[in-house]
Amino acid sequence: MSDQAKRRFGGKRDMSNERIQSALAGATDTRAVVIEEGALARVADVFRENFPESRAVVVADGTEYRVAGEEVQRVLEQGGIGTEEPYVFPAEPTLYAKYSNIELLVGSLEGHDAVPVAVGSGTLNDIAKRAAYETDRPYMNVATAASMDGYTAFGASIEKDGHKQTLTCPAPRAVLADVSVLVAAPKDMTAAGYADLLGKVTSGADWLVADALGVEPIDKEGWRLVQDGLRGWVADPEALAAGESEAMDGLIEGLVMSGLAMQAYQSSRTASGAEHQFSHLWEGEGLGRDRNPPLSHGFKVGVGSVAVAALYERLLARDLARLDVEAAVSAWPSWPEVEERVRALHTLPELERAAVEQSRAKYVGADALRERLELLREVWPELSGKLRSHLLPAEELRRMLRAAGCPVTPEEIGLSRDELQKTYRRALTIRSRYTVLDLANETGILDECVAELFEPGGFWAR
């Protein structure tokens, strides 16, 4: 890197630090975030500042312990931090976020009062996060890959009782990310993080819709933390795939800011929309669970983002200011009819029960639907303009994801086109959050819009 490039990069890092410090002011759990080259050398100082007079226990799997855990342990010891024997999960088979692994770690943590220092990425972070919560202590995370936005988010995505679910637990008190470690991470992990971050494009559009229809007003701070920097963070997937530090610095900042926004708003609405409902459905059904390593959350989000952006294009091709409200209300099913349809869409009992519960929570009767659709007619000229300005074309999202090294077709993640087509309606049912799926469903055009995507000449037929 030239001196001029170093100065430019340094200036961007200063601005990034300012943004993160501003975001930390509204965070409920996280007090410190350090992102820089050589950050591992600071782990003892960061630990001491945030966990004064506490002992530390490094938690990692065999691979991550070799990558960074040994160095973290060495720096802690040399920095005068008292430590317990590291808890290291086996390197093989690939560590999976299942509850039995939390139970193993909890059993070890109950033998002392040390603060866990999780050295790893998404799975390890989720396991340590929940285990720390169950043993009533805070924890710290040392990121080894820019693979998802969960580092600074509350909650852990864990397989329990036969299906993936989000378990309650606070975010880490401190997060440290050494950019040189992130750059050396497997490329598919970086690509997964890029896909997770790029999904904020469609999730932002969903919030615009929910805001315009009076379902969930936009929180200015929650929106700012994610959306203001988003286009810059995802602007250069080619540089990210090439392993350039500046691009990696932007990616990890975006992922960290996304988690901090969830803390500030106390909801994942700031960073999750219909694209995540696609991913959550597939995760609940175990899609890619048999791969080694398992199919990442980010890769599923990436395909979901393309699918949702394509649906938006079909929706925006229609003038909903001229919607026949009475026809839509007349065709609107009763709750018992909806429940029957929801149950028919799912074969796994846990998913079926959850889908019924979530669908019931957002169901509205005919009078409330009429009022919402009349409002839609009024706001559509302005809303459609905002959506066109905010969204990226589905084809452009597909190009960006491909450039970053992400899968972009259903076949690449183990789905047929028919299964993807059915996912649009199935994903609608699994969350009460209002998204483009609900808008298309309530206006009575979901099925025809989706059909257009798969017919000859449609997006998914190209």
Over residues 181-209, the pLDDT tens digits come to: 999 999 999 999 999 999 999 999 999 99
Point out the domain boundary residue: 185, 215, 247: 185
User: Residue 5: pLDDT band by 50, 70, 90 thresholds?
Assistant: low
Residue 2 pLDDT greater than 80, yes or no: no
Residue 7 pLDDT greater than 60, yes or no: no
- What is the distance between the alpha carbons of residues 316 and 66, in angstroms, rounded to a whole number? 50
Helix (H) / strand (E) containing 159:
strand 156-160
Is residue 240 included in any domain, yes or no?
no
CATH code of residue 85: 3.40.50.1970
Is residue 284 included in any domain, yes or no?
yes
What would you measure as the largest C-alpha separation in the chain, in angstroms? 72
Predicted pLDDT at 1 = 55
Domain co-membership, 176 together with 131: yes
Domain co-membership, 315 together with 454: yes
- Contact by Cβ (8 Å): 155, 126: no
Among candidate residues 113, 150, 119, the one with its CA nearest the CA of residue 30: 150
Domain co-membership, 308 together with 418: yes
User: How many domains does the structure of the chain reveal?
Assistant: 2
- What is the distance between the alpha carbons of residues 60 and 124, in angstroms, rounded to a whole number? 7
* Cα angle value 138/141/147 (rounded, 5°): 135
Domain co-membership, 46 together with 169: yes
Domain co-membership, 75 together with 165: yes
* Cα angle value 165/272/96 (rounded, 5°): 35
Among candidate residues 253, 194, 243, 183, the one with its CA nearest the CA of residue 35: 253
- What is the distance between the alpha carbons of residues 434 and 457, in angstroms, rounded to a whole number? 29
Is residue 250 included in any domain, yes or no?
no
User: What DSSP state is assigned to residue 269?
Assistant: G
Is residue 442 included in any domain, yes or no?
yes
Is residue 26 included in any domain, yes or no?
no
Provide, rounded to the nearest whole percent, the portion of the chain with pLDDT above 70.
Answer: 97
Q: Residue 44, Cβ neighbours under 10 Å: how many?
A: 19
Is residue 21 included in any domain, yes or no?
no
The pLDDT of 204-225, averaged and rounded, is 98
Domain co-membership, 66 together with 156: yes
Among candidate residues 29, 59, 58, the one with its CA nearest the CA of residue 124: 59
Residue 12 pLDDT greater than 80, yes or no: no
Domain co-membership, 154 together with 282: no
Predicted pLDDT at 6 = 54
Beta bridge partners, 60, equal 88
Domain co-membership, 417 together with 362: yes
- What is the distance between the alpha carbons of residues 260 and 228, in angstroms, rounded to a whole number? 14
CATH code of residue 378: 1.20.1090
Domain co-membership, 218 together with 76: no
* Owning domain of residue 102: 31-185
Domain co-membership, 338 together with 430: yes
Q: Residue 460, Cβ neighbours under 10 Å: how many?
A: 18
> SS3 for 271?
coil
Q: Residue 12, Cβ neighbours under 10 Å: how many?
A: 15
Point out the domain boundary residue: 185, 215, 246: 185
Domain co-membership, 53 together with 80: yes
Is residue 354 included in any domain, yes or no?
yes
Domain co-membership, 40 together with 168: yes
The pLDDT of 105-129, averaged and rounded, is 97
Is residue 6 included in any domain, yes or no?
no
